Structure 1
Amino acid sequence: MAELDWSDLRYALAVGTAGSLAGAARKLGVNHTTVLRRLDALEAHLGARLFERHRSGYHPTEAGMSLLEQARRMADQADEIERRVLGRDRELTGPLRVTTAFVIMEHLLPAPLAGFARRYPGIEVEVVENAFLVDLSRRHADQAQTWARLEADVALRLSANVAEHLVGRQVGMTHCRVYALRGSKDLPQAVTSLSALVKEAPWVAFERDAHSRVYDRWMRQQLAQANVRLRVDIFNAMVAMIRTGIGVGVLPTFMEASHADIVPVSEVIPELSVPVWMLTHPDLRETARVRAFMQFVGDALGERLRAGASAA
């Protein structure tokens, strides 16, 4: 029997992960007929049926489950090999992908990123705005069907909890207050107690069913009896609605400097103070461009966060 082709195994792995040909095709950047052809060829090569085809999707057979288990191990090993090779890179050149949240990118990162680009012109930084931390040890296939590309080299996250398999540094703390449209006759204009705000002011809140962030949990507890006029999903949308005068809402204090038309109407809320983490995978922390980014941008972010805390 001829040797198995890893590229055939990754098609089976994509089907097993997605549960359908269409989902696997989207993941791999190909059409579903290509996935079906490669899967049929693999089954013919092995002489075994790997998936049962049902209306609800593709379900692995016993043989398929065994193959998928081995294929996942191979994928993890391939990931580790590439990370270790990248980790030996000592050059201050090449691409660097950073993943972060919209609010960090808009309000905290521009100046530090510009300073880093000037200091290290040979490093091309690509920022992917994402509110959720990407698993830096996993990879995906791009439109050119390239299997091994890191999802991100560095992640910036607002969170009290970080994945144990990642390494990095806490660059500072963020703090939150309640804000209102400056000059609004219908909304408080001075610092007011939270109990009074909850009882008397109209609110802009986060999604009712959201629960992953500390802000979501706080709002669900504190605003259960409040007059919530509108709900949004991210801080950028929150400040946009606060600026209409429809109600008060919670924002990180570092957003205040960018919006002269909002005014803080509460003290800092201790329960909503969370750290900003800069993270990478252990195998990448010795890469020259990763180290340079984490040092330069991390220091700059720390200074901005300390300045914002002093102003608050």
Structure 2
Amino acid sequence: MNAQTDWDDVRYFLAVAREGSLSAAARVLGVNHSTVLRRLTGLEAAMGVQLFDKLPRGYVLTAAGEDMHRTALSVEDTLAAASRRLSGRDAQLEGTLRITTVDILAMHILPRHLAAFRALHPGIRVDMTVAEANLSLTRREADVAIRLAAQLPENLVGRSLSGLAFAPYGEVGMVARHGAAPPAEACWVGLDESFDHTAMVRWLRAEVPAERIVQRVNSVAVLVESVRAGLGYGLLPCALADRMPELRRVGPPVPDSGVRLWLLTHGDLRMMGRVRAFLSFMAAALTSDRDLLEGRLPQPVPALADV
């Protein structure tokens, strides 16, 4: 990397190095495939070296690319640290706050709390990115993360606000036909291999024969909708399913799922005015939802639109 290197080109280089393909890097950067290729080609021309080998498994760093990668990561870390320190000095309750979370929280838990926060702090605009993958708070891809995890992620500060209970559910008509418990031949909907690390998938493998799983999806929100449609039974978050009159719980919550709800930021950002205000507000709001999140609300309860 030299004095004439455009840092924006380096961002594209780092995205390709992280994602392993032009298309994946383009999705992360919010641009099209050709833009990534053009910026990468321009960087290689400026540097006078080939940075990637294009192999069947994707873009792989060359020896020169590895050297460039180490230097670029060091510069990125330095710039990100400076940005966090400077941002952390901002005590004003205005500006943009970037948060990241998963679909089930974004769709069913957070909207009413974000509306209340907006009413209290109209000068703060909250931009929310919904992603199963964890965005980096270290690189300022987000200021606050509301995540589901078993333990506190490294390099972040925050607190666990609640557990998250999961239980088996069925559509009310299906439950009426089959009775209080799913029959042995019942169809189920499950999560795909991207969730193999979770207690939800481990429970399903232990309790439901593979041949009874008629559909797998890569989104808990889609799983909920499939069960609501009557496609099959499913292991669902109680915080969503208990608020849906179309669903009935047909078994106890999974014991010791290990999933916790975390409210997180980077240590350099926690004194920023709008981050501090959001963390304080959301900690109280989500703590008040613990009975809902941990599956202690009775069924039936009002429909989502009536809450």
**TM-score (structure 1 length as normaliser):** 0.81
Instruction: Give 1:155's match in structure 2, choosing from 136, 142, 145.
Output: 145
Superposition map of 1:60-99 within 5 A: 60-99=61-100
1:67 Cα offset (Å): 3.1
The alpha-carbon deviation at position 123 of structure 1 amounts to 0.4
The correspondence for 2:192, drawn from 207, 213, 221, is 207
Q: Matched residue of 1:125: which SS?
A: strand
Q: CA deviation at 1:33?
A: 3.3
Counterparts of 1:292 and 1:199, CA distance in 2: 51
Distance 1:168 1:298 in 2: 10
| Structure 1 residue aligned with 2:38 | 33
Please state if 1:260 is matched with 2:245. yes
| Residue 310 (structure 1) aligned with residue 300 (structure 2) | no
- Flag the 1:208–1:287 CA change in 2: closer, same or farther, 3 A: closer
1:141 — aligned with what? none
Query: Which of 227, 230, 240 pairs up with 1:242?
Result: 227
SS at match of 1:179: strand
Secondary structure class of the residue paired with 2:74: helix
Conserved? CA contact 1:198–1:222, under 8 Å: no
Larger mean Cα displacement after TM superposition, 180-189 or 13-22:
13-22
Q: Distance in 1 between matches of 2:130 and 2:107?
A: 10
CA deviation after TM superposition for structure 1 residue 106, in Å: 1.6
**In structure 1, what residue type is equivalent to 2:145?**
A
2:302 aligns with none
Alpha-carbon shift at residue 226 of structure 1 (Å)? 6.2
1:143 corresponds to which residue? none
Cα 1:269/1:11, change in 2 over 3 Å: closer
TM-score, normalised relative to structure 2 = 0.82
Task: Report the CA distance shift for 1:249/1:62 in structure 2 as closer, same or farther (over 3 A).
Answer: closer
- Give the structure 1 partner of residue 163 of structure 2: 173
User: Could you tell me whether the CA contact under 8 Å between 1:180 and 1:188 is conserved in 2?
Assistant: no
* In 2, Cα distance between equivalents of 1:50 and 1:288: 44
Deviations 1:226-260 (A, max 9, x none): 62222222222222222233321111111134311
Query: Once the 2 structures are TM-superposed, how far is the Cα of residue 303 of structure 1 from its aligned partner?
Result: 0.6
Q: How far is 1:112 from its partner?
A: 0.9
* CA distance, structure 2, for counterparts of residue 186 and residue 20 of structure 1: 49
Pair 1:291 & 2:276 matched = yes
Partner AA of 2:44 in structure 1: L
Q: How many residues align?
A: 290
Which protein shows a greater Rg? 1
* Structure 1, unpaired ranges of 5+: 44-48, 139-149
Structure 2 gap ranges (5+):
299-307
2:125 equivalent in structure 1: 124
